[in-house]
Every structure is written in C-alpha cells, then in structure tokens.
Amino acid sequence: MKVVSENRAFGGRQLVVGHPSAACACEMTFGLYLPPGEGPFPVLWYLSGLTCTHENAMVKAGAQSWAAREGIALVFPDTSPRGEGVADDAAYDLGQGAGFYVDATQAPWASHFKMWTYVTEELPAVLAAFPLDMDRQAITGHSMGGHGALTIAATFPERFRSVSAFAPICNPTGSDWGRKQFAAYLGEGADWAAHDASLLLAKGGFSLPLLVDQGMSDKFLDLLKTDALQDVLAETATQGTIRRQEGYDHSYFFVSTFMEDHVVFHARALKA
C-alpha cells in the first residue's frame, strides 16, 4: 500500500492510496478523506457512477467540507479494475469504469471484475491501517454507485447505520442499465435479483434510514426506474424518503447541491 498523494482540506487530509488487489488482480486506487482530529472516525462510503474513477466525487462532490464539520471520514473507491490486461469494451457502460459492483463470472470479465468482493471485503480490510471506526459505517453513491450503495446496504444491513443515493439505478433488472451488464458479467440465468435494490427491498424489507434524491430534469430517468423503488417502499410500508428535485439533472452540480443534506443525514445516524 502506498500513499499516492496527500492534500490539506478543511483542516483534514485528503489522501489517494494505491494498493495491490487480490480480488481484482490488479493495482487499485481509492480516495480517503480524514477529518481534523485523531480518530477513530466514523466512515461514509461514496460509490461513484459510470465512467468515474475514485477522483470524480473526491474533486467535484464537495463532501469534504461537510465531513470535516461532522468529523466523518470519506472513502471513495474506484468503479472498476484497470490497467494492462484488464478487459474493456468500447461502450462507456461496460468494462473499465463500469464495474456495476458485482462479481463477474463470465469471460472475459471474471478474472478481474470482482467489485462486490473488493468493496465489501477487501477494501474494508485495507482500511484497517487508518484511524477509522468500522463499527460506525454509512454508505451513499451516485447513479451506478447509488445502485451499489442500495444493494450493499440491503445485503449487509448490520454493517451500516444508514444509506442514501443520488439518482440511483433502482431496478437494474428492468433497465438497459442493468440487463446489459448483468448478462455480460453474470450470464443469463444467474441470480440478477441479488443485485437489484427494488427486488431486494420487496423480498426482505429494509430497516436502515434511507434518503434518495432524484433530479427531475435527469435525461436518464427512464433508465434509473425511481418509481419502481417508490412503489416497493409503499407496498412494504418501508420507511424512506425519496425527494424529487425539480430542474436538476444527473451531473455533479446536482450531487454537490444536496451533498450537505446527505452528510448531515448520515452524521445523525453515525452519532446516534
């Protein structure tokens, strides 16, 4: 493990860290913001969307100022394995930058694309080297990363205090942002429902505090399937807040506008 860069930010430290990944069989990079103080700090995970690296949210989301105020560490994983020998595709929504937070079982993806194991097992173990309180974790994400945040929180509810998402892919088995990737990574006939937030919530309910923001000028609304998640919350009488924000799109202008709300939302749960 090596610290690639370190910058002072809002009294804390913004790190970029590289390490060899056994899960992804390549070098992986993540961002880690440590707020002022000595820790151990509660942890908020931020999972990014299609085409992003660890850097997009780290630079554009504006989360560090609010995390510093609340005394929360931020983890920004990459969205896929990368490098020479790692499979890729000409399309932006498959291959490098589009790991979809699943463990691929199909060629040519299976040898590297193990993002579920990386985010849920390997990276938490790597983070043990830093002053973090892993008994107090929360998770959020944007778009594909919102899908990852919701499905990981639904699968490991005992691990997290709260979950939120910005414009998440809510029902990937019913969307071209999901069916295409699941067919490529997991194969036809695999258990796609295990990676569909709407189906997971319909099956088992949901006990974590939940906040979702969706911009109503988002050009990807038909792919995100927000209504599917809203319907499941109503059908299962699950507590959760879905806010529909008029005039906002899918960009980081949208994410940064509501980032303070999400950090405060998680801070309340992490400090309870």
Which residues are known to be catalytic?
Answer: 143, 218, 250
Alpha carbons 120 and 211: distance in angstroms, whole number: 21
What one-character DSSP code corresponds to residue 95? B
The neighbour count for residue 116, using CB atoms within 10 Å, is 21
| Nearest CA-CA partner of 141 in 172, 165, 170 | 165
Question: What value, to the nearest 5°, has the Cα angle with vertex 53 and ends 11 and 221?
Answer: 105
Q: Mutual orientation of helices 63-70 and 252-271 as an angle, nearest 10°?
A: 10
Phi then psi for residue 266, to 5 deg, are -75, -35
Count of residues making up the chain: 272
For 268, the enclosing helix (H) or strand (E) is helix 252-271
Give the three-class secondary structure for 121. helix
- Residue 253 identity: F
Looking at beta carbons, which pairs linking 20-23 to residues 24 or more positions away fall under 8 Å? 21/81, 21/118, 21/122, 22/122, 23/114, 23/117, 23/118, 23/121, 23/122
C-alpha Rg value of the chain to the nearest Å: 17
Contacts of 253 (CB under 8 A, 6+ apart): none
Q: Are 130 and 104 in contact (CB under 8 A)?
A: no
